[in-house]
């Protein structure tokens, strides 16, 4: 079976009546993949599994009995919800999305409709979704839930486990009615305000089942934003492909979800961390195209965030804290999709992010319909010469790169900056 089957329709409903302001202002968020698979960390039965570790149950064809056995020693004594929420704040993130249940079927919350939960199957016994929700509330972060609505490898009626169960005998509606919908209801009713819900791999789900899910979400949380992976074009915001940044600005609400290395869940085998420079460049790319950047960390089985991952996020946040105004609450300003520079806008200002310094210290931008008033580096307020000629708007930069990661130049216009379309 091809992977295409997992994704389905990715368009969204553009006539949202929900409150979307917080979401369009937020720009940067924390995704957390954490579960029993974090304990396997890329290894099962003497074999290494490079790549996405949250799939280890399927990739190693672990049966449900052996997989459940691992819960008996899942005891995340280093887990500190406040510290994780604080890390998100320090990184400059505005909401947080946690894997309440991934494809392995294990609930990281106290579910009444399953025994396969952190509260019943582990010695830890505490509800970590609850702890994170409270921590987010305390720190002023919006809170979101990841829930794998189709794939559930622990249930014979869930989708995806074809090594232990016979897919032809699966009653998917029964799984939906008895596990997915009740668990989603629990999450929507017991965990305060849920800002957004991230469904995944719509795959085989039928339209009337998607409607059931959507109605369930909206009955209990009318303002909860639903991602496009609910399927059938019934989501409120587009989730692009995993780790995908679009080449052009997109209409409507959208999000790029990105991993810190090459796995979502923690793996011992993967130390391919994106540096703060790479993260900031990708954030700029996403925000300049009008999207949100949902950046993933994979805590270890003991609940701690890998030190290097946390350190890099704090460095990222340090840079962002200098240029907040150029990021949060802005709108995209498309300058032709250059990799060296990109821009956002607010009011009569363009915020220009220069990622690579031009060789001749001269930056040619498209012409604008309105006049430029002045340009200056955002941090030092130091003036930058701006002029226009027949071809372009020209910025004359100092010889040296201003900010090693990305320099931010504010250009003020007469009115709202608008790139001229006439040639
Ligand atoms: O939660 C994260 C991923 O686990 C999930 N989406 C993000 C947010 C996801 N679900 N499905 N996929 C990603 C596609 C996965 C495809 C693959 Fe594989 C899994 C490629 C390699 C491992 C399946 C198993 C195909 C080859 C081996």
Q: At what angle do helices 181-190 and 207-220 cross, to 10 degrees?
A: 20
Instruction: Compute, in angstroms, the gap from residue 373 CA to the centroid of ligand 1.
Output: 49
Q: Is the pLDDT of residue 36 over 70?
A: yes
DSSP three-state, residue 138:
helix
User: CA 369, CA 367: separation in Å to the nearest integer?
Assistant: 7
- For residue 183, give the 3-state DSSP assignment: helix
List, for residues 194-241, the tens digit of each pLDDT value.
Answer: 999 999 999 989 999 999 999 999 999 999 999 999 999 999 999 999
Residues 6+ apart with CB under 8 A from 282: 245, 256, 258, 274, 293
Assembly ipTM: 0.96
CB count, 10 Å around CB of 45? 9
Per-residue model confidence as pLDDT tens digits over 359-402: 899 999 999 999 999 999 999 999 999 999 999 999 999 999 99
Q: In the chain, which segments carry CATH 2.60.40.1180?
A: 331-413
CATH code 3.30.70.240 for 4-322:
no
Residue 263 to residue 266: CA distance in whole angstroms:
7
Give the nearest ligand 1 atom to 99 CA. Answer: 1
In whole angstroms, give the CA distance from residue 169 to residue 157.
Answer: 8
Q: What is the pLDDT of residue 9?
A: 56
Return residue ranges of the chain for CATH 3.20.20.80.
4-322
55 lines ligand 1 (CB under 6 A): yes
Q: Pairing state of beta strands 142-147 and 28-32? A: unpaired
In CATH terms, 331-413 corresponds, of 3.40.50.2000, 2.60.40.1180, 3.30.450.20, 3.30.470.10, to 2.60.40.1180
This prediction has a pTM of 0.97
Q: What's residue 423's pLDDT?
A: 53
Cα torsion 372, 374, 377, 380 to 10°: value is -160
The CA 17 to ligand 1 mean position distance, Å, reads: 32
Residues 6+ apart with CB under 8 A from 63: 163, 164
363 closest CA partner among 329, 391, 393: 393
Residue 54 beta carbon below 6 angstroms from any ligand 1 atom: yes
**Does residue 4's CB lie within 6 angstroms of at least one atom of ligand 1?**
no
372: β partners: 413
Integer Cα distance of 304 and 314 in angstroms: 15
> Cβ(33)–Cβ(265) under 8 Å?
yes
- What mean pLDDT is predicted for residues 18-26? 98
Looking at every residue in the chain, the average pLDDT score rounds to 96
Strands laid side by side in the 196-198 sheet? 225-226, 196-198, 142-147, 95-101, 28-32, 292-297, 253-259, 237-239
Residue bearing the CA closest to ligand 1, atom 27: 59
Say how far apart CA 86 and CA 363 lie, in whole Å. Answer: 38
**Ligand 1 pocket test, candidate residues 2, 7, 31, 52, most atoms within 8 A of CB:** 52
Quote the CA–CA distance of 402 and 292 in Å, as a whole number. Answer: 26
């Amino acid at each position: 079976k091809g992977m295409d089957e997992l994704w389905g329709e990715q368009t969204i409903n553009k006539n949202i009546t929900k409150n979307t302001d917080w979401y369009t202002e937020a720009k940067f968020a924390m995704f957390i993949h954490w579960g029993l698979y974090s304990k396997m960390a890329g290894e099962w039965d003497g074999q290494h599994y490079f790549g996405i570790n949250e799939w280890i149950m399927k990739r190693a064809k672990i049966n449900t009995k052996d997989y459940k056995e691992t819960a008996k020693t899942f005891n995340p004594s280093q887990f500190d919800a406040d510290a994780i929420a604080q890390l998100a704040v320090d990184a400059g993130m505005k909401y947080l999305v946690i894997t309440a249940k991934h494809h392995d079927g294990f609930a990281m919350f106290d579910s009444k409709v399953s025994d396969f939960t952190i509260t019943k199957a582990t010695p830890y016994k505490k509800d970590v979704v609850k702890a994170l929700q409270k921590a987010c509330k305390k720190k002023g972060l919006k809170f979101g839930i990841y829930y794998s609505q189709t794939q559930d490898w622990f249930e014979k009626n869930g989708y995806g486990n074809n090594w232990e169960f016979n897919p032809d005998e699966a009653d998917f509606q029964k799984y939906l009615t008895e596990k997915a919908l009740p668990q989603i209801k629990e999450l929507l009713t017991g965990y305060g305000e849920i800002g957004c819900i991230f469904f995944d791999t719509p795959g085989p789900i039928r339209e009337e089942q998607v409607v059931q899910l959507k109605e369930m979400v909206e009955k209990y949380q009318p303002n909860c934003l639903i991602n496009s992976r609910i399927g059938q074009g019934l989501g409120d915001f587009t989730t692009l492909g995993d780790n995908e940044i679009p080449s052009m600005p997109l209409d409507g609400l959208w999000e790029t979800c990105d991993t810190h290395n090459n796995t979502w869940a923690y793996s011992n085998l993967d130390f391919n961390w994106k540096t703060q420079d790479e993260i900031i460049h990708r954030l700029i790319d996403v925000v300049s195209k009008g999207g949100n950047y949902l950046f993933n960390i994979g805590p270890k089985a003991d609940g701690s965030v890998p030190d290097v991952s946390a350190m890099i996020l704090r460095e990222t946040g340090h840079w962002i804290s200098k240029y907040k105004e150029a990021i949060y609450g802005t709108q995209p300003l498309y300058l032709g999709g250059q990799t060296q520079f990109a821009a956002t806008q607010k009011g009569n200002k363009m915020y220009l992010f220069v990622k690579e310094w031009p060789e001749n210290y001269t930056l040619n931008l498209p012409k604008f319909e309105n006049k430029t008033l002045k340009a200056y580096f955002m941090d030092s307020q130091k003036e930058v010469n701006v002029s226009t000629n027949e071809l372009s708007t020209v910025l004359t930069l100092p010889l040296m790169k201003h900010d090693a990661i990305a320099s931010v130049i504010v250009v003020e216009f007469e009115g709202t900056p608008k790139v001229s379309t006439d040639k």
